Structure 1
Amino acid sequence: MQVCAAPPFAAEHALSCDARWRPHDLLRLHRLRQFDGEPEWVRVSFERAPYAVVRRALAADGFVAIGLRGAERSQRYGAWVHLDDIETAVPPEELAQRSPLAERTAFPAFTALAALQRDTTGTLSEFVWGPTGSTGFELATQAPTATLSSDLDVLIRAPEKLSHHAAIQLLSYLQAIAQRAGIRVDAQLETPAGGIALAEWAAGKARVMARHARGPQLIADPWAPAHGDA
Structure 2
Amino acid sequence: MRVCAAPPFAIDHALSCDARWQPHDLLRLHRLLQSDGEPAWVRGAFERAPYAVVRRALAADDFVAIGLRGTERSQRYGTWVHRDDIEIAMPPQALARLSPLAARNALPAFAALAALQRDSAGALAGFVWGPTGSTGFELATRTPTVTFSSDLDLLIRTPEKLSHHAAIRLLDYLQAAAQRAGIRVDAQLETPAGGVALAEWAANKARVMARHARGPQLITDPWAPAHGNA
Bin for the TM-score computed over the shorter chain: over 0.9
- State the TM-score, normalized to the length of structure 2: 0.99
Map of 2:38 onto structure 1: 38
C-alpha distance in 1, partners of 2:215/2:37? 24
Gaps of at least 5 residues in structure 1 are none
Say whether residues 1:160 and 2:160 are aligned partners: yes
Which aligned runs of 4 or more in structure 1 are off by greater than 4 angstroms?
Answer: none
- Tell me the secondary structure at the aligned position of residue 171 of structure 2: helix
Note the 1:71-220 alignment, pairs <5 A.
71-220=71-220
Distance of 1:109 and 1:57 partners within structure 2? 28
Q: State the alpha-carbon separation in 1 of the partners of residues 202 and 132 from structure 2.
A: 21
1:174-214 per-position Cα deviation (integer Å, ceiling 9, x unaligned) = 00000000000000000000000000000000000000000
Aligned residue for 1:18?
18
Secondary structure, in 3 states, of the residue corresponding to 1:123? coil
Q: CA deviation at 1:97?
A: 1.8
- Give the letter for the 2:75 counterpart: Q
Listed as ranges, the gaps of 5+ residues in structure 2 are none
**Residue by residue, what CA displacement relative to the aligned partner does 1:151-191 show, whole Å, maximum 9, x if unpaired?**
00000000000000000000000000000000000000000
* Equivalent in the alignment of 1:222: 222
In the aligned structure 2, how far is the partner of 1:125 from the partner of 1:164? 17
Deviation, structure 1 residue 37: 1.0
Cα distance between partner residues in 2 of 1:26 and 1:114: 20
The one-letter code of the counterpart of 2:161 is K
Q: CA deviation at 1:125?
A: 1.4
Per-residue deviation, 1:222: 0.3
Q: 2: distance between equivalents of 1:191 and 1:49?
A: 30
Name the TM-score, length of structure 1 as normaliser: 0.99
What's the RMSD between the two structures over aligned residues?
Answer: 0.6
- Provide the C-alpha distance between the structure 2 equivalents of 1:21 and 1:86, rounded to a whole number of angstroms: 10
